[in-house]
A and B are shown apart, each in its own frame.
Chain A
Amino acid sequence: MCSLHQGVPAQAELHPWEVAVPKGQIAHRHKALFIGIGAVALLLVGAGAGVVLLLSGAYSTAATKQHFGITYRILELGLRYSVASNAEDIVVPDLGRVANVNIGYACYRRYCVQCHGAPGVARDPLGRGQLPSPSSLSESARDWPAAHLFYVTQQGVRMSGMPAWEYRISSEGLWSTVAYLKAMPFMTVAQHRELDESSADETCPAPTAAAAYTRERTQIMFRQYACDNCHIIGGMVGPKTHVGPSLKGWRERKYIAGVLPNTRENLVRWIVAPQDFSPHTMMPDLDVIEPHARQMARYLMTEE
């Protein structure tokens, strides 16, 4: 890098365009040139250091390796501002009318308590060994407004282990979960136990309908049903996987999994219940509801 800095003025002095330019301006130009070269050099050094850090394995990906204090502060701040800005347009319904704390707790019991715990209830081992560690929600539920809790539950948090629940829990179920979250920080252990008992027969409502078809929404859907963990899907970026076959250019294919003629109708049936058609197939039933399967089939039949 240092040779770059030495080389430039020497070459510049010989350059013909300098002849007609007054002396002060030359110095000025040199300054700008030096700053430019310096910036580029810094960028290159930074990128080089990044590559070395990555490929040498010096950066630890272990969950036992603690973040720096500043990393926590930055992540917390980023999350808070991002959620606040993205949840701006969410209109909170009348929770007393739309939401039901018992149903919300049924969702929490089924999907959340494993990682987040509850008053007097420990989180499962699943929620103990992660980094970042899932929050104890009695604090967040106090601090965060309902719209923010709804957004973060519905959309999840990237790279934190927090899933998006939009495709698992209906809108009514999500608002009920928010109602439970807003009530939970103010419950005694005894009150919470009562809620647990009075909610014993409740189940968490799953979505039953799909939003209008768009290509982008369907790509999110593929990700949310984890399709792209086993299949490479046309038009999407994702892991380079070889578990299932690539679905690129799907509409050209004659058979589905070698067992069903490839029609849109058959594809919907296959996505909903693959093992009904092929007992040996490794493809599991992912609880894809039919309206979602229809949109997936539409996507695959139109995408290159």
Chain B
Amino acid sequence: MMRQLSLFILLPLLFACAPERDYVPRVVDGDADRGREALARYECGVCHVIPGVADAVGKVGPALDHYSRRSYVAGKFPNEPDMLVRWIVDAPAMAPQTAMPAISMSEQDARDMAAYLYESD
């Protein structure tokens, strides 16, 4: 009985000690809830699959799930908050060949969107 008990106590402990990711991107001054609304308002889902955003089922660009785990933004730039915010606001300024258009929006909107993408997975 004691042995079974100790196993039940030990196992969750072992799982709890799982190594965590050393770098998890977080947006300063970004609000994930507002970001979700902004992603819907700017109709990002026309081109992207975005979990948790209504009607975001587009197949023009890549799916935006697990975004905080992604190594790169658009396969081109290191995935860290400032880079992602710049990309959302004006992708062609960073990579002229990209099919992703520049979208007229405030930087705050972009920060909120980035916050949502990072926090939603």
Contact = CB atoms under 8 A, between A and B. Distances in A.
Contact of B59 (A51, A253, A257, A283): A253
B97 A255 contact: no
B76 interface: yes
A278 B72 CA distance: 14
Interface size class of A (residues with CB under 8 A): 20 to 34
A129 to B, nearest CB: 23
A256 to B, nearest CB: 10
Contact of B71 (A243, A255, A257, A280): A243
Given A254-B59, A255-B99, 8 more contacts: A51-B14, A242-B66, A245-B75, A255-B60, A258-B74, A258-B75, A258-B95, A279-B97
Contacts of A259: 95, 97-99
Interface in B88-109: 94-95, 97-100
Interface of A is mostly: loop
Interface string B32-74: 0000000000000000000000000001111100100111101
A159 interface: no
Contacts, number: 74
B92 to A, nearest CB: 11
A242 B14 contact: no
Interface residues of B, number: 30
A255 B76 contact: no
Contact of B76 (A242, A243, A253, A281): A281
Contacts of A244: 71-72, 75
5 contacts: A48-B7, A55-B11, A258-B74, A259-B98, A282-B76
A258 B99 contact: yes
Contacts of B72: 243-244, 282
A279 B60 CA distance: 21
Interface string A257-294: 11100000000000000000111111100000000000
B15 interface: yes
A246 interface: yes
A258 B1 contact: no
A252 interface: yes
A255 B58 CA distance: 12
B97 A277 contact: yes
A188 B72 CA distance: 52
Given A258-B98, A278-B76, A281-B76, A252 B14 contact: no
Leading 3 A-B pairs by shortest Cβ distance: A55-B14, A280-B76, A242-B69
